């Protein structure tokens, strides 16, 4: 078991809040990665009085090992897919093979966007400072896809915040000059869930409820 163990996502959120850079305030846009990252993102947004929204990213699991992230997608098209080249080589798969495996995850992204965002006006990302939040990273592929998606929409700056990551999972983000707040890199991380004492699955309804509860009434206005 990893040396660093969180009681639950609320505990992880409180510790992240204490570790975040001092320039983060109510003008930042907090983007959770559903489903697991949303409770942590919501707690952070509530603490700062910031706007909460989400970035929808789906993992493309490796054949025979769906928990291993082969790629991550944020929508249709090659420009919205991040491939984990190390896993690709291990699985001996071509880009075309991965595109075929990604068909269902892309459909899931679009379905979840319709379900969660249908009654909401998505916030404008261009020119914004954004905080991207997840509950942990084993490969970093999902976070890379989220960062790429945010940059594609013209954000001004990005901070990535998460409680725990496997060593090496954040290397590509470090190379991309993204500010990262990661409380612990666990050498023996078997899964993200193994670092939490209480790690329930987050439901679609919980994601919808969080978005509704923490959405501030006043829209952001660029100063």
- What's the CATH number where 21 sits? 3.40.50.2020
Please, where are the H alpha helices in 92-189?
A: 95-101, 103-117, 141-152, 171-175
Encode pLDDT of 107-159 as tens digits.
998 888 888 876 566 678 899 999 999 999 988 888 988 898 888 888 999 99
Give the start-end residues of each E strand in 15-97.
29-32, 51-54, 58-62, 65-73, 81-83
CA angle 29, 196, 15 (to 5 degrees): 45
CA distances from 85 to 82, 94, 175, 200, 223 (A): 9, 10, 15, 31, 41
- Taking the C-alpha atoms of residue 109 and residue 201, their distance in angstroms, rounded to an integer, is 18
Q: Is residue 161 part of a domain?
A: yes
Q: Is residue 64 part of a domain?
A: no
What was the pLDDT predicted at 119?
58
- Residue 76: left if φ>0, alpha if ψ -120 to 50, beta else—which one? beta
- Taking the C-alpha atoms of residue 75 and residue 112, their distance in angstroms, rounded to an integer, is 11
pTM score, whole prediction:
0.83
Q: Is residue 158 part of a domain?
A: yes
What confidence category does residue 2 fall into, taking pLDDT thresholds of 50, 70 and 90? very low
Q: Is residue 66 part of a domain?
A: no
Q: Is residue 84 part of a domain?
A: no
Q: Is residue 29 part of a domain?
A: yes
Encode pLDDT of 3-15 as tens digits.
557 999 999 999 9
Exposure string (b/e) for 65-99, b if CB count within 10 Å is 16 or more? eeebbbbbbbbeeeebbbbbeebbeebebeeeebb
- Domain span including residue 199: 9-57+121-214
Number of domain units in the chain:
1
CB 73 within 8 A of CB 106: yes
Encode pLDDT of 74-120 as tens digits.
888 777 888 889 899 999 999 999 999 999 999 998 888 888 876 56
Q: Is residue 20 part of a domain?
A: yes
What was the pLDDT predicted at 27?
94
CA nearest neighbour of 151 among 126, 175, 177, 181 = 126
What was the pLDDT predicted at 158?
96
CA nearest neighbour of 182 among 129, 132, 145, 141 = 132
Encode pLDDT of 56-72 as tens digits.
888 898 998 887 889 88
Q: Is residue 181 part of a domain?
A: yes
CB 64 within 8 A of CB 91: no
CA nearest neighbour of 214 among 133, 128, 95 = 133
């Amino acid at each position: 078991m990893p040396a660093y163990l969180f009681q639950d996502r609320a505990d992880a959120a409180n510790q992240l809040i204490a570790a975040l850079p001092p320039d983060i305030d109510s003008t930042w846009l907090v983007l959770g990665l559903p489903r697991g990252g949303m409770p942590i993102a919501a707690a952070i947004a509530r603490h700062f009085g910031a706007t909460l929204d989400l970035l929808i990213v789906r993992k493309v699991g490796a054949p025979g090992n769906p928990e291993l992230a082969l790629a991550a997608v944020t929508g249709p098209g090659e420009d919205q897919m991040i491939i984990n080249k190390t896993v690709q080589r291990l699985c001996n798969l071509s880009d075309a093979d991965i595109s075929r495996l990604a068909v269902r995850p892309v459909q899931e992204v679009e379905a979840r966007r319709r379900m969660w965002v249908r009654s909401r006006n998505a916030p404008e990302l261009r020119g914004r400072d954004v905080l991207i939040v997840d509950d942990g990273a084993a490969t970093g592929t999902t976070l890379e896809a989220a960062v790429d998606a945010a940059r594609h929409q013209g954000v001004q700056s990005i901070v990535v915040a998460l409680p725990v990551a496997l060593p090496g999972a954040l290397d590509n983000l470090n190379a991309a000059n993204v500010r990262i707040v990661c409380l612990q890199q666990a050498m023996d991380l078997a899964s993200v869930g193994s670092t939490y004492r209480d790690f329930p699955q987050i439901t679609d309804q919980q994601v919808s409820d969080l978005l509704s509860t923490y959405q501030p009434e006043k829209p952001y206005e660029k100063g």
